[in-house]
C-alpha cells in the first residue's frame, strides 16, 4: 500500500473511530458505546463511483453487485459511506466491479439500556455490555431484517442486481442484523447472498439458530473483532463463529489488538480482501455438515421465553404479525 493510499485510509479511519454524542445516556459508560463518527469530511470521490439522490453510491463499471452496510447504535451512515473511497484504494479490482453501496439509516427508537431515550437503532438493547447472555429483541430484529430484504428487492427490481451478488454487512448492532439477515430463519425460497461482514457484532437468537443449507454453503462470512472489546465482549466472536461454523458456514475470523472500534488498517484491508474474493467469480465449495443440537441448556423458564422469542421473530419475519393485527 503506497503512502498516498495510507494517508487517505488514515483520515477515514479517524472519522470512523471518533465517538459521537447524539444522546445523553443515563449511564456515562454507555457514551459512544456502539457508534462511530458521523462527521462528514470533504474528500475526492473516485471517478468510478457516483451518489444518486436516493442515497445509493453506484459504480460505473462492468459487473453488477451491491454492498449493504448497517451502522451501529446511535450512529448515522455518514462516516461509513467513506468506505466507497477507501475499499477500492486498497483493492483496485473493486473499482472494476459495478458495485452499488447502500448505507441505510436506522430509525429512531427508544433504547431500554439508555433509559428509553430515543436514538438511531436497529433494535432495542436491554443489557450492558453485550455478553453471551444478553437479552434479545426478536421483534426489532425481525423488522430490521425485513428492511434489509426490502433494500435487496429494490436493488434487484431497479438496478438489476441479483441477490446472489449482494453482500450484507454491519458494525456492532448493524453486524448483528447482518448476521440475522444472511443466515437465521430465512425463507425456504430465499436466494443466498454473496457474503456477510460482521465487524465487532454479535449473533442474536443464538440458541434458536436455524440456517438453511443453501445459505450456509453459499454465503461466506467475515467476522472481525477487537480483542479488547469491552462493549460487545470478545467472547461473542468465539461463540458466534463456532455456532456458525458448526452449521456449515465458511467463516473467516479476524482479531485485532483494539477495543470496540474500526480504526485498524489491517481490519479495513481484510474487509477489502473479502469483498474482492466474494464478488469475483469463484468455484463452488464442497458442502459442510449442519450443526448438531444447540449446546446450551438454560433454565426451563429461560428456555420457554427463548421459544416465545424465536416464534415471535419468525412470525415478524414472514409478516404474519401484521396479518393477524389486520384480521383482529
Eight-state DSSP code of residue 156? I
Catalytic residue among 71, 137, 260, 270: 260
For residues 265 and 246, what is the distance between their CA atoms, to the nearest angstrom? 30
DSSP-derived 3-state class of residue 169: strand
Catalytic residue among 35, 89, 172, 291: 172
Q: Report DSSP letters for 22-51, one per residue.
A: -S--SSGGGTTSS---------PPPTTEEE
For residues 297 and 128, what is the distance between their CA atoms, to the nearest angstrom? 22
For residues 38 and 80, what is the distance between their CA atoms, to the nearest angstrom? 8
Decide if 59 is catalytic.
no
Decide if 133 is catalytic.
no
Rounded to 5°, the CA angle 84-60-15 comes to 10
User: CB neighbours (10 Å) of residue 131?
Assistant: 12
Decide if 22 is catalytic.
no
For residues 224 and 183, what is the distance between their CA atoms, to the nearest angstrom? 17
Catalytic residue among 124, 137, 229, 270: 229
CA distances 35 to 61, 128, 171, 225, 318, Å, are: 32, 14, 9, 15, 30
- Going 209 to 213 to 216 to 219, the CA torsion angle's sign is negative
Name which of 160, 143, 252 is nearest 199 in CA terms: 252
State the catalytic residues. Answer: 172, 229, 260
Amino acid at each position: 500500500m503506497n503512502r498516498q493510499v495510507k494517508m487517505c485510509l488514515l483520515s477515514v479511519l479517524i472519522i470512523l473511530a471518533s465517538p459521537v454524542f447524539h444522546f445523553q445516556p443515563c449511564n456515562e459508560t454507555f457514551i459512544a458505546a456502539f457508534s462511530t463518527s458521523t462527521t462528514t469530511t470533504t474528500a475526492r470521490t473516485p471517478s468510478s463511483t457516483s451518489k444518486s439522490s436516493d442515497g445509493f453510491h453506484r459504480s460505473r463499471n462492468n459487473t453488477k453487485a451491491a454492498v449493504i452496510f448497517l451502522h451501529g447504535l446511535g450512529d448515522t451512515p455518514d462516516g461509513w459511506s467513506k468506505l466507497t473511497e477507501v475499499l477500492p484504494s486498497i483493492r483496485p479490482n473493486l473499482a472494476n466491479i459495478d458495485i452499488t453501496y447502500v448505507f441505510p439509516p436506522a430509525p429512531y427508537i427508544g433504547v431500554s439500556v439508555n433509559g428509553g431515550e430515543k436514538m438511531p437503532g436497529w433494535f432495542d438493547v436491554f443489557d450492558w455490555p453485550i455478553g453471551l447472555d444478553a437479552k434479545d429483541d426478536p421483534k426489532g430484529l425481525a423488522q430490521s431484517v425485513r428492511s434489509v430484504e426490502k433494500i435487496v428487492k429494490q436493488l434487484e427490481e431497479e438496478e438489476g442486481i441479483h441477490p446472489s451478488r449482494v453482500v450484507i454487512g454491519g458494525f456492532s448492532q448493524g453486524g448483528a442484523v447482518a448476521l440475522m439477515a444472511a443466515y437465521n430463519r430465512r425463507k425456504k425460497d430465499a436466494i443466498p447472498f454473496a457474503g456477510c461482514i460482521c465487524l465487532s457484532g454479535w449473533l442474536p437468537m443464538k440458541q434458536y439458530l436455524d440456517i438453511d443449507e443453501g445459505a450456509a454453503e453459499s454465503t461466506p462470512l467475515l467476522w472481525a473483532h477487537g480483542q479488547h472489546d469491552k462493549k460487545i465482549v470478545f467472547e461473542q466472536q468465539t461463540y458466534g463463529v463456532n455456532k456458525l461454523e458448526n452449521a456449515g458456514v465458511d467463516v473467516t475470523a479476524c482479531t485485532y489488538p483494539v477495543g470496540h472500534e474500526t480504526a485498524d488498517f489491517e481490519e479495513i484491508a481484510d474487509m477489502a480482501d473479502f469483498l474482492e474474493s466474494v464478488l469475483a467469480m469463484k468455484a463452488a465449495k464442497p458442502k459442510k455438515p449442519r450443526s448438531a443440537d444447540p449446546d446450551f441448556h438454560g433454565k426451563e423458564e429461560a428456555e420457554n421465553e427463548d421459544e416465545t422469542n424465536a416464534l415471535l421473530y419468525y412470525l415478524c419475519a414472514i409478516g404474519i404479525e401484521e396479518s393477524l393485527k389486520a384480521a383482529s
